[in-house]
Amino acid sequence: MICLTYLVAFLSSIQITSGTVQPTVTLKDGTVLQGVYEEFNSDLLPVYGKIESYYGIPYAEAPVGPLRFKPPVPKKQLDSPLEATKVGRSCMQPDISILGVPLTNEEMSEDCLFLDVIVPKSVTENSHVLVSIHGGGFTMGAGQMSWFHFLTLASYGNIIVVAFNYRLGPFGFLTTAFGGDPNKVTIGGISAGGASAAFHTLSPGSKGLFQYAMIESGSPFDSWVTYRQGEEARLEVRTLAKLIGCRAEDIEDDAKLLNCLMKAPAEDINENIGKSVAEICVKKLKGEIKVLGPKFSVLNSEIQWENLQKVGLTGLPGPSVDGVFLPKNALNILEEGTLNGESYVVGSNAEEGTGYLSIFFPDKEVKPVINNTSLSAIISSGLIGDVPSSIVQKLMKTLYTIDEKDLLNENQEDYFHEISQFLGDLIFFCGSSKFAKLASQSKNVYRYTMTFVPSNNLMGVNWMGATHGCHAQFVFGMPFQEKFLEKFTDKDRDMSRKVMQYWINFMKTGNPNIATDADYLTLPNWPKFKKTDQVYKDLTPDMENRYMKERECYFMDNVFLPLRNAFKEFKKSKIADDEQSKWTEEGQCEGEACHVDEEKAEMTKERLLGIKVGDDRNDVKTLP
């Protein structure tokens, strides 16, 4: 995480003075930045905007050599004048073509800490600012992506937009930057960007640096936002070290291990990060078969390796309770109510889970039929955890089967609806709901769910519905951008216009219902979300208000997650017992050292049989 106060100082020092050929920016230290003039014009929106854009501004020293894995260091004096006319290099990451979304700058490097500032010419000195944190599971993406730009939103809302790169995967994290009036800053993001924005509402170090937060399809309670600690974190690092060629004796010594990782070429780390996570996942799958018996797991060999590397892309990085950025876990901070900012927008999409299904089913045109075999393979892939697939399947059917007659149907041919809703609730929806409920006790919270299905899917997959991240094209005005006009309908454009209006209202006032310009649209009222009144805005062209589903999230939080953690502990104990039995059979040990720890085994049974209802998605509470 970068020092946010440094970025406030950096961006608030900008003074824009327009030139005839190109705009210029003079920093307080005298450094001159030279940008580019751009325009966004749309008769359909309508908006006609002239924009001054500054791309590729270094905001920290290159995190290379001794600075690898270290906190970012503020950038020293920049070259002057600095040509800020091209998007900077992207940070090291896996092949993003997996998502069908190319980077704006496909050149990757560890030297990648650049930011961009988009400034409508009509803004005043004390303009409102959106700091956009990109998504990508902490492993992929960049501040500027080729499938959308910020010109539409900046022009329509007359706001400054700041976007930036941050280190990804094993290279580390950075999560925000600021500009314009420091008292008029909104931070926001989608997926990992949304989770990052949420973490800044919790961090003491971010106090006073923003007013509002937009937390979209990501939260501290999502199952993919891992809190890596202890042996689990060490296993991930050691697996990566082995794959990049560190010596076995060095891997067992922390100082030597760090030295090996510091010297390794960035390309080697980048190439092997997905493989390391996939290897851990495969070991987990083998462990499941060994411990719980083959009847619990049916694996598809084609899925097992190739796609686990893709699934594994979101498996390694994640935040940690470091005592600095996060002094304690998210639940404790939320319960205490010591949050930053005044108001939040929190939301997710109705079919978040289909994004994960697309990993297993590459056909972009034909909606997959998910039978028992493929369902078991998906459940066993590591996405859901350590609960045996047969148990997950029964729980899933009980909660998500639409027609009760199908509950007793042992020959059900298609589980698409059940597994996509299960994954969406587990991985995104219920975590966002939990965050919103807790935050609403001390802050103004506005909750949304998008059920509208866009005419255009960002990944080019036609069967995904209102899936993960697809609302971004409405937030950033893609239906009005010239190169995408034919991909969208007038209904899409109506939707985008309304979504942008709500977002702009919120960024300027902290309330999506209050417009600051008489020419803006009049929209249906968006009520506050409260723990005792869980009303949300259904993002469709009609913009109706509805009430949250509670049964599914109660089940996830109080039944499934404790059950999953109990099985995880059981598996660890069983594997250890099997190893001891193996040593005994091979005559490798004698006496008490070979005996199974009966007390430990008994405690594990109690955890499985006596799960106590609790609220913490990160802590399993069991009966004594």
Give pLDDT tens digits for 524-537: 999 999 999 999 99
Q: How far is CA 542 from the centre of its chain?
A: 28
More confident of the two residues 75 and 27: 75
User: Do the Cβ atoms of 499 and 476 come closer than 8 Å?
Assistant: no
- pLDDT for the residue numbered 272: 80
pLDDT > 80? residue 204: yes
Can you tell me the mean pLDDT for 383-400? 87
**pLDDT at res. 577:** 64
Q: What is the pLDDT of residues 49-95, one digit of tens each?
A: 899 999 999 989 999 999 888 888 888 888 889 999 999 998 888 77
Tokens of 310: 């893709």
- Please give the residue that has the higher pLDDT: either 599 or 184: 184
- pLDDT tens profile 464-499: 999 999 999 999 999 999 989 999 999 999 999 999
The β-bridge partners of 47 are 42
Q: pLDDT tier at 231 (50, 70, 90 boundaries)?
A: low
List, in order, residues 6 or more apart from 142 with CB less than 8 Å away: 87, 90, 91, 103, 104, 105, 134, 165
Residue 503 has pLDDT above 70, yes or no: yes
Catalytic residue numbers read 191, 352, 468
Query: Minimal CA–CA distance to 173: which of 225, 219, 246?
Result: 225
Q: What b/e string do you get for 206-225 counting C-beta neighbours within 10 Å, with b at 16 or more?
A: beebbbbbbbbbbbbbbbbb
Distances, alpha carbon 621 to alpha carbons 58, 299, 556, in Å: 46, 31, 14
- Backbone φ and ψ for 347, nearest 5 degrees, come out as -165, 175
- Cα–Cα distance between 620 and 558 in angstroms, integer? 10
Omega before 81 cis (within 30°)? yes
Which residues make beta-bridge pairs with 17?
A: 24
Q: Which helix (H) or strand (E) holds 333?
A: helix 330-336
Q: CB within 8 A of 58, min separation 6: which ones?
A: 75, 78, 88, 113, 114
Beta pairing class for 36-42 and 47-58: antiparallel
- What's the pLDDT tens digit per position in 251-262? 888 889 889 988
Please calculate the CA angle 162-165-167 and round it to the nearest 5 degrees: 145
SS3 content of the chain, % helix, strand, coil (to 5): 40, 15, 45
Whole-number Cα distances in Å, 521 to 72, 190, 517: 42, 25, 9
pLDDT computed for residue 582 by the predictor:
57
* 452: number of Cβ within 10 Å: 21
> Alpha-carbon distance 403 to 435, whole Å?
31
CA-angle at 25, arms to 21 and 29, nearest 5°: 140
- Segment 33-39 shows an average pLDDT of 92
Q: How confident is the model at residue 230 (pLDDT cuts 50, 70, 90)?
A: low
Question: What's the pLDDT score for residue 56?
Answer: 93
pLDDT above 70 covers a percentage of the chain that reads 76
According to DSSP, the residues that pair with 344 across neighbouring strands are 213, 445
The pLDDT value given to residue 232: 63
